[in-house]
Amino acid sequence: MNKGLYIILAVLIVVLIFLNSEGLSFLNKISQIFSQNQSNSIKNLEIQDCSIKTEEMIVRGNSLDPLIKSDQTIKALFGYYDCNKIKIGDIVLFDYAGNKNSVIKIVKGISGDKFELRQSNSGYNIIVNGQIVKNSENEPYLVSGNAYKMLSLYEKDYKGVIPEDAYLLLGNRISGSVDSTTFGLVDKSGIIAKVEI
């Protein structure tokens, strides 16, 4: 054999020895880094592909008065929640099957929140994470009758925790309106837009 062939064989033996010990560990680390970067690139691509359509709308109804008045113009951001989380305090449009138009409400409880009804002098306060839920005027919600019955079913069925992808939506009237006191906790799929005022 010539010298060149010996050198090639020696290099191959060194490479094989390297791969059998620390080399495999090194290659695994490189592979993990590549996979993580590829995963992050896919996530970033999904966020970039998320399109938000802004539409001006006129509010019909006064369930959020005085925060939002009837005939006031708002901006609805359709597709916003395809890229962003729903948060407490968000004003949203909800596609309620009982109405021909979507309803505008405030998010007062999100998935995982502790939820209960606590008896008060003339009804029941809505409690989320140990705090009495209040409207934009800092007045506590006080429900009774059918509103109490509706919400108490959810409290009992879900053992006092708002389930995954479910939300508590309320208007500004402390006794309730066409909101979760009427239709219960809502699924994320029914929340169609974020509202800006």
pLDDT score, position 72: 96
pLDDT per residue as tens digits for the range 45-85:
444 568 999 999 999 999 999 999 999 999 999 999 999 99
Q: For position 41, what pLDDT does the model report?
A: 41
The predicted pLDDT at position 9 comes to 62
Fold of 53-196: Umud Fragment, subunit A (2.10.109)
Residue 23 pLDDT > 80: no
Q: What are phi and psi of 139, to 5 degrees?
A: -100, 135
Which tens digits make up the pLDDT trace of 154-167?
999 999 999 999 99
Listed by start position, the domains of the chain span 1-49, 53-196
Model pTM?
Answer: 0.74
